[in-house]
Amino acid sequence: MIVLKHDRNTDVAFIDVTEEAPTTSVRVIDVTEELGLRSQVLARIDVDGVFLGLVIEDYSAFKREIMRKYVAFRIEKLLELIIGKVKASLPRVEPGQPALATQCS
Domain boundaries, the chain: 3-89
Contact 89, 34 (CB under 8 A): yes
Percentage of the residues of the chain whose pLDDT score is greater than 90? 27
Instruction: Examine the pLDDT at 13 and tell me if it is beyond 80.
Output: yes
Instruction: Examine the pLDDT at 23 and tell me if it is beyond 70.
Output: no
List the single range of 4-8, 18-22, 27-31, 34-38 with lowest mean pLDDT. Answer: 18-22
pTM for this entry = 0.68
What's the pLDDT at 61? 92
Average pLDDT over residues 82-87: 83
